[in-house]
Amino acid sequence: MIVGLRRYLHRQQFNPGLLGAFFNPFFLARRVLWREIEAASRNLSGDLLDVGCGTKPYRQLFGTHAVYVGLDIDSPASRERGIADTLYDGGSFPFESGRFQAILCNQVLEHVFTPHEFLEETRRVLSTGGRLLLTVPFVWDEHEQPYDFARYSSFGLKFLLEQHGFRIVQHRKLLADASVLFQLAIAYLFKVTRTRHGAVNRLVTALVFGPLSLVGLLAGKLLPHNDDLFLDQLVVAEKLS
Protein backbone atom coordinates (compact mmCIF):
# COMPACT_ATOMS: atom_id res chain seq x y z
CA MET A 1 0.00 0.00 0.00
CA ILE A 2 2.81 2.40 0.90
CA VAL A 3 4.64 1.60 -2.36
CA GLY A 4 1.45 2.26 -4.31
CA LEU A 5 0.99 5.61 -2.55
CA ARG A 6 4.57 6.62 -3.37
CA ARG A 7 4.03 5.77 -7.03
CA TYR A 8 0.82 7.79 -7.05
CA LEU A 9 2.51 10.83 -5.51
CA HIS A 10 5.42 10.55 -7.95
CA ARG A 11 2.97 10.48 -10.87
CA GLN A 12 1.25 13.57 -9.47
CA GLN A 13 4.56 15.47 -9.71
CA PHE A 14 4.60 15.47 -13.50
CA ASN A 15 1.20 14.22 -14.71
CA PRO A 16 -1.26 15.44 -12.09
CA GLY A 17 -4.99 14.82 -12.31
CA LEU A 18 -7.36 17.23 -10.58
CA LEU A 19 -6.63 15.64 -7.21
CA GLY A 20 -2.97 16.39 -7.87
CA ALA A 21 -3.69 20.03 -7.08
CA PHE A 22 -3.77 19.02 -3.41
CA PHE A 23 -0.40 17.24 -3.56
CA ASN A 24 1.60 19.35 -6.02
CA PRO A 25 2.27 23.10 -5.56
CA PHE A 26 3.19 23.25 -9.26
CA PHE A 27 0.00 21.56 -10.42
CA LEU A 28 -0.91 24.22 -13.00
CA ALA A 29 2.56 24.28 -14.58
CA ARG A 30 3.09 20.52 -14.63
CA ARG A 31 -0.42 19.75 -15.88
CA VAL A 32 -0.13 21.89 -19.01
CA LEU A 33 3.49 20.88 -19.62
CA TRP A 34 2.57 17.17 -19.63
CA ARG A 35 -0.36 17.70 -21.97
CA GLU A 36 1.60 19.81 -24.44
CA ILE A 37 4.62 17.48 -24.48
CA GLU A 38 2.27 14.54 -25.01
CA ALA A 39 0.66 16.29 -28.00
CA ALA A 40 4.00 17.42 -29.46
CA SER A 41 5.55 13.95 -29.05
CA ARG A 42 3.56 12.86 -32.10
CA ASN A 43 5.80 15.09 -34.21
CA LEU A 44 8.87 13.03 -33.31
CA SER A 45 9.98 9.61 -34.52
CA GLY A 46 13.07 7.42 -34.63
CA ASP A 47 15.84 7.06 -32.06
CA LEU A 48 15.46 9.71 -29.33
CA LEU A 49 17.95 11.41 -27.01
CA ASP A 50 16.57 12.96 -23.81
CA VAL A 51 19.07 15.72 -22.95
CA GLY A 52 19.08 16.55 -19.25
CA CYS A 53 16.80 13.58 -18.62
CA GLY A 54 16.74 13.73 -14.80
CA THR A 55 14.33 10.99 -13.72
CA LYS A 56 13.00 10.51 -17.30
CA PRO A 57 9.51 11.71 -16.29
CA TYR A 58 8.24 11.79 -19.89
CA ARG A 59 9.65 8.43 -20.96
CA GLN A 60 6.23 6.80 -21.33
CA LEU A 61 5.15 9.41 -23.90
CA PHE A 62 7.81 8.15 -26.31
CA GLY A 63 7.17 4.43 -26.04
CA THR A 64 7.02 3.94 -29.82
CA HIS A 65 10.61 5.11 -30.33
CA ALA A 66 13.05 2.35 -31.19
CA VAL A 67 15.73 3.75 -28.89
CA TYR A 68 15.33 6.12 -25.93
CA VAL A 69 18.62 7.34 -24.44
CA GLY A 70 18.75 9.54 -21.35
CA LEU A 71 21.73 11.91 -21.13
CA ASP A 72 22.49 13.91 -17.99
CA ILE A 73 25.26 15.99 -16.51
CA ASP A 74 27.70 14.00 -14.40
CA SER A 75 26.97 15.00 -10.79
CA PRO A 76 26.58 13.31 -7.40
CA ALA A 77 22.79 13.57 -7.73
CA SER A 78 22.65 11.98 -11.18
CA ARG A 79 25.06 9.23 -10.16
CA GLU A 80 22.98 8.49 -7.06
CA ARG A 81 19.75 8.32 -9.09
CA GLY A 82 21.34 5.94 -11.57
CA ILE A 83 18.59 6.63 -14.11
CA ALA A 84 20.46 8.31 -16.96
CA ASP A 85 21.89 5.96 -19.57
CA THR A 86 24.89 8.21 -20.19
CA LEU A 87 26.57 10.92 -18.12
CA TYR A 88 28.75 13.69 -19.55
CA ASP A 89 30.83 16.66 -18.42
CA GLY A 90 28.63 19.41 -19.85
CA GLY A 91 30.71 19.84 -23.03
CA SER A 92 30.50 17.60 -26.07
CA PHE A 93 27.73 15.02 -26.19
CA PRO A 94 29.35 11.53 -26.21
CA PHE A 95 27.67 10.42 -29.46
CA GLU A 96 28.60 10.43 -33.13
CA SER A 97 27.18 13.08 -35.45
CA GLY A 98 23.68 12.40 -36.76
CA ARG A 99 23.11 9.58 -34.27
CA PHE A 100 19.49 10.51 -33.35
CA GLN A 101 16.35 11.36 -35.26
CA ALA A 102 14.72 13.11 -32.31
CA ILE A 103 15.82 15.05 -29.23
CA LEU A 104 13.83 15.99 -26.13
CA CYS A 105 15.18 18.86 -24.02
CA ASN A 106 12.79 19.71 -21.21
CA GLN A 107 13.39 22.72 -18.93
CA VAL A 108 17.16 22.51 -19.38
CA LEU A 109 18.27 25.41 -21.62
CA GLU A 110 17.86 28.00 -18.85
CA HIS A 111 20.52 26.12 -16.86
CA VAL A 112 23.07 26.18 -19.69
CA PHE A 113 25.67 28.94 -19.37
CA THR A 114 26.91 28.42 -22.95
CA PRO A 115 23.71 28.03 -25.03
CA HIS A 116 25.45 28.42 -28.40
CA GLU A 117 27.79 25.51 -27.75
CA PHE A 118 24.93 23.48 -26.29
CA LEU A 119 22.71 23.98 -29.33
CA GLU A 120 25.58 23.21 -31.68
CA GLU A 121 26.03 19.86 -29.94
CA THR A 122 22.27 19.28 -30.06
CA ARG A 123 22.29 19.97 -33.79
CA ARG A 124 25.40 17.84 -34.38
CA VAL A 125 23.99 14.62 -32.94
CA LEU A 126 20.64 15.13 -34.71
CA SER A 127 20.23 13.75 -38.22
CA THR A 128 19.18 16.04 -41.07
CA GLY A 129 15.41 16.46 -40.90
CA GLY A 130 15.42 15.26 -37.29
CA ARG A 131 13.36 17.16 -34.76
CA LEU A 132 14.03 18.83 -31.43
CA LEU A 133 11.26 19.15 -28.82
CA LEU A 134 12.34 21.91 -26.46
CA THR A 135 10.61 23.44 -23.44
CA VAL A 136 11.93 26.39 -21.48
CA PRO A 137 10.46 28.74 -18.83
CA PHE A 138 9.73 32.40 -19.52
CA VAL A 139 8.18 33.83 -16.32
CA TRP A 140 9.49 31.83 -13.37
CA ASP A 141 11.51 32.38 -10.23
CA GLU A 142 15.18 31.49 -9.93
CA HIS A 143 15.51 27.77 -9.24
CA GLU A 144 18.21 25.14 -8.83
CA GLN A 145 20.48 27.98 -7.74
CA PRO A 146 23.19 28.87 -8.60
CA TYR A 147 22.70 27.08 -11.95
CA ASP A 148 19.92 29.25 -13.35
CA PHE A 149 21.32 31.48 -16.07
CA ALA A 150 18.69 32.70 -18.55
CA ARG A 151 15.13 33.41 -19.62
CA TYR A 152 14.13 33.65 -23.29
CA SER A 153 11.36 35.67 -24.92
CA SER A 154 9.56 33.95 -27.79
CA PHE A 155 11.50 36.13 -30.24
CA GLY A 156 14.84 35.44 -28.61
CA LEU A 157 14.27 31.69 -28.55
CA LYS A 158 13.21 31.64 -32.21
CA PHE A 159 16.26 33.67 -33.23
CA LEU A 160 18.60 31.45 -31.23
CA LEU A 161 17.29 28.24 -32.79
CA GLU A 162 17.29 29.63 -36.34
CA GLN A 163 20.83 30.88 -35.80
CA HIS A 164 21.87 27.27 -35.20
CA GLY A 165 20.24 25.79 -38.28
CA PHE A 166 16.79 24.87 -37.01
CA ARG A 167 13.43 25.60 -38.64
CA ILE A 168 10.55 26.24 -36.25
CA VAL A 169 7.73 23.75 -36.85
CA GLN A 170 5.63 24.56 -33.79
CA HIS A 171 5.94 27.27 -31.13
CA ARG A 172 3.49 27.41 -28.24
CA LYS A 173 3.21 29.64 -25.18
CA LEU A 174 2.02 27.67 -22.15
CA LEU A 175 -0.25 29.01 -19.44
CA ALA A 176 -0.82 32.26 -21.36
CA ASP A 177 -3.95 33.04 -19.34
CA ALA A 178 -5.00 34.13 -15.87
CA SER A 179 -3.86 30.84 -14.34
CA VAL A 180 -0.25 31.99 -14.69
CA LEU A 181 -0.92 34.58 -11.96
CA PHE A 182 -2.15 31.87 -9.61
CA GLN A 183 0.83 29.60 -10.33
CA LEU A 184 3.27 32.44 -9.68
CA ALA A 185 1.47 33.35 -6.44
CA ILE A 186 1.59 29.71 -5.31
CA ALA A 187 5.30 29.49 -6.20
CA TYR A 188 5.92 32.57 -4.04
CA LEU A 189 3.90 31.19 -1.13
CA PHE A 190 5.58 27.80 -1.50
CA LYS A 191 9.00 29.31 -0.86
CA VAL A 192 8.05 31.68 1.96
CA THR A 193 5.94 29.17 3.91
CA ARG A 194 8.11 26.08 3.48
CA THR A 195 9.33 24.52 6.73
CA ARG A 196 11.56 21.62 7.70
CA HIS A 197 8.50 19.58 8.58
CA GLY A 198 7.15 17.56 5.67
CA ALA A 199 3.74 17.06 7.29
CA VAL A 200 3.26 20.81 7.69
CA ASN A 201 4.29 21.43 4.08
CA ARG A 202 1.85 18.79 2.81
CA LEU A 203 -0.93 20.30 4.90
CA VAL A 204 -0.31 23.79 3.47
CA THR A 205 -0.30 22.33 -0.04
CA ALA A 206 -3.59 20.53 0.52
CA LEU A 207 -5.43 23.34 2.33
CA VAL A 208 -4.01 26.43 0.60
CA PHE A 209 -2.30 25.61 -2.69
CA GLY A 210 -4.87 23.01 -3.80
CA PRO A 211 -7.88 25.34 -3.68
CA LEU A 212 -5.84 28.18 -5.21
CA SER A 213 -4.79 25.92 -8.07
CA LEU A 214 -8.36 24.93 -8.85
CA VAL A 215 -9.52 28.56 -8.76
CA GLY A 216 -6.61 29.38 -11.09
CA LEU A 217 -7.67 26.60 -13.45
CA LEU A 218 -11.17 28.07 -13.59
CA ALA A 219 -9.88 31.65 -14.01
CA GLY A 220 -7.75 30.51 -16.93
CA LYS A 221 -10.85 29.21 -18.69
CA LEU A 222 -13.13 32.17 -17.95
CA LEU A 223 -10.85 35.20 -18.30
CA PRO A 224 -9.20 36.46 -21.53
CA HIS A 225 -5.86 35.06 -22.63
CA ASN A 226 -2.77 37.26 -22.76
CA ASP A 227 -0.12 35.97 -25.17
CA ASP A 228 2.46 38.42 -23.79
CA LEU A 229 2.52 36.88 -20.30
CA PHE A 230 3.05 33.14 -20.08
CA LEU A 231 4.86 30.59 -17.95
CA ASP A 232 6.69 28.30 -20.39
CA GLN A 233 7.40 27.82 -24.07
CA LEU A 234 7.31 24.66 -26.15
CA VAL A 235 9.06 24.49 -29.51
CA VAL A 236 9.32 21.74 -32.09
CA ALA A 237 12.17 22.56 -34.49
CA GLU A 238 13.62 20.68 -37.45
CA LYS A 239 17.30 20.46 -38.35
CA LEU A 240 17.69 21.89 -41.85
CA SER A 241 21.01 20.38 -42.97
CATH superfamily name and code, 2-239: Vaccinia Virus protein VP39 (3.40.50.150)
The string of pLDDT tens digits covering residues 43-99 is 899 999 999 999 999 999 998 777 999 999 999 989 999 999 999 999 999 999 999
Find out whether 150 and 116 touch, Cβ atoms under 8 Å.
Answer: no
* Cβ-based burial of 28 (10 A; exposed 0-12, middle 13-18, buried ≥19): buried
pLDDT reported for residue 38: 96
Q: Tell me the domain boundaries of the chain.
A: 2-239
Residue 189's SS3 state is helix
Over residues 122-132, the pLDDT tens digits come to: 999 999 999 99
Checking if the pLDDT of 110 tops 70, the result is: yes
With a threshold of 0.85, does the pTM exceed it?
yes
Q: How confident is the model at residue 39 (pLDDT cuts 50, 70, 90)?
A: very high
